Structure 1
C-alpha cells in the first residue's frame, strides 16, 4: 500500500490561502513548450498525460494543445477547486506524487510544471515509474526568474529571506534523486520567456503568490508588498510604467522509463 507524504507547511497553507493569487499572478508558459511536449514527451491525440501537482491548472492548456488526454493530480483542495471549475472536461484527482490514484502503466507521460521540487524524493520517482508505461516520458518544467537582470536579482533577494526550509527549484536540491534506476539520463531545453502586465500583477502579485509568502501572517505579507513596491519605485525599468515584463528562463527537462 502506498501512503502519501505530508505536504510541506508552506504548500499546505500558502497554496490553500493563496490559490486565487496563484491563478491570477503566476506567468503562463512560452508557446514553444507545446512543440516540446510533442517532440520530447511524444504527446499526441493517442497519449494520456498526468499533470502531477497540477495546482490551479496553469499547464493544462499546453497539454491539451499538444493533443493529449489529461488527468490532473493535485493534493491541495483550494487549488483543485479552481482547476475543476476551469477545466471540467478533464479528469481531476486528489492525490500526491507518492500515492497517485492511478493504475500501473496507465500513462504515456507524467508532467510536473513548477512542482517537482516539492516532492523530489525516491518514493515519488518510484511512483511515477509505476504509473508510466514502459517507454513513457517524465517532464519537469519550471519558469525561472532570469536573475541576470539586476532588478530581478534584487527582487529575489528581497523575499528569499522568508523561505526557511521551503523546497525551491533554485537550490537545485531536486537533482539529488537522479540518476534513478528505470529512468534514462535527464535531457534539458531552455526557452526565453516574459511575463507582461502591470507592475502590481507581474511583480507584487507574483511575489505574494509565492507559497512561503502567502503562508505568512497578514501584517508580514503587507510589509513584503510594501518592500516590493519600494523596489519598483526605485527601479528605472519599472517606476511609473503601466506595463512591465518580468524576464524568465523556462527550463524543460525530460527522461523516459527504460524498463
Structure 2
C-alpha cells in the first residue's frame, strides 16, 4: 500500500528540528486524563495483561511519544514485570529520524502510516494512539486497519494541542489579540489539506460507529474531553511556533504582491513576509499584555477523544 503522506505535510514539516523545538509538548494533566480513558499506561497498575503494547501512529518527532516513554519507565520502575512496548509509526522521513535519534526507552520507531500497519499482528495492540495527526488520514481504511490490530475491547484515542491562534472558527478566543492571530490563519489560502479545525476528522469515526445492513459497527460512539493550559512565549518564539504550521511554512519567503499586501490588510497573504507583518501588527496592539520578560500568554487546550473496538 502506498504512503498517503499529504504533500502539504511532506513539505511543510521538512524542518523536523524546528517542529520539535517549537511545537508545544503535552501537560501531565492532559496525558494522564487522556490515557485514563484508554485503559492504558495511566492506569497500568490495575492491568492483568503484560507486557502492554501501544501503537502510536503519526508519531512525528515524538512530542507525545516522549510522554508515553516516561509513563512506561515509571511503570517498570514500580514493577519490573510490568513492561510496556511502544511502537512509534511515522511516514515522514525527517521526523522519523528526529524521533529515532532520541532513543526513547521502551520505544521502537518504524516507517508506516495509518492505512498500513502491516508490522503489527492482528488483535495484539492494547491501545492505538494518534497525537496531532489523525486529521491527515481520517478515513475508513485507516480505522479498519486500526480495528484489525487492536485486541478485543481495546481503545483508539486521538489527541491535539490547540492554541487559540489555530482554533476552529466557532471557538471563542480568550483574548481579542489572539483572535487577531486566528483571523490571520483563516485569511490564508486554502491548500486542500485537512486540519483539526475543520472538524472533518470526526466523520470517519461517525461512519464506523454506525451499523448498517451491509456493515456492522466497528467502534463505540466517540467520546471526548479537554484540558486547558497556558504558556508564556516571547513574540519571536511565538512566530517560530506559527512557522511550524504547514499553511505558513509552505508559503514563499517573499512574493511579488508584498507591496500591495502591505498597503491593503484585507488582501490574502501570499508570502511569509506578509504574514510576519500582520503578526507584528497584532503583537503591537495595546491589549497585548506582557510579563517582565516581554513574554505574552498564549491560551490553549488539549482536546482528546476515544472509542472502543467492537469485535465483529
* CA apart distance, 1:88: 4.4
Q: For the Cα contact (< 8 Å) 2:30–2:226, is it kept in 1?
A: no
Q: For the Cα contact (< 8 Å) 2:3–2:91, is it kept in 1?
A: no
* CA apart distance, 1:183: 0.7
Instruction: Give me the CA root mean square deviation.
Output: 1.9
- For residues 129-148 of structure 1, the aligned pairs below 5 Å read 129-146=147-164, 147-148=172-173
Aligned to 1:186: 222
- For residues 102-117 of structure 1, the aligned pairs below 5 Å read 102-117=120-135
**Structure 1 length-normalised TM:** 0.91
Q: Name which one, 1 or 2, has greater alpha-carbon Rg.
A: 2
Aligned to 1:99: 116
Return 5+ residue gaps in structure 1 as ranges: none
Aligned to 2:195: 168
Aligned to 2:272: 221
- For residues 60-79 of structure 1, the aligned pairs below 5 Å read 60-67=65-72, 68-79=84-95
Q: For the Cα contact (< 8 Å) 2:177–2:285, is it kept in 1?
A: no
1:23 equivalenced with 2:23 (yes/no):
no
Aligned to 2:184: 158
**Structure 2 length-normalised TM:** 0.76
| Separation in 1, partners of 2:55, 2:232 | 29
Give the direction of change, closer, same or farther, for the CA distance of 1:106–1:196 in structure 2 (3 Å limit): farther
Give the direction of change, closer, same or farther, for the CA distance of 1:186–1:235 in structure 2 (3 Å limit): farther
| Separation in 2, partners of 1:176, 1:5 | 22
1:39 equivalenced with 2:65 (yes/no):
no
| Separation in 2, partners of 1:37, 1:137 | 11
Return 5+ residue gaps in structure 2 as ranges: 45-49, 73-83, 165-171, 209-216, 255-270
2:97 maps to which of 45, 64, 81: 81
Relative to structure 2, which stretch is displaced further, 32-41 or 122-131?
32-41
Paired residues, number: 255
Q: For the Cα contact (< 8 Å) 1:4–1:97, is it kept in 2?
A: no
| Separation in 2, partners of 1:178, 1:23 | 29
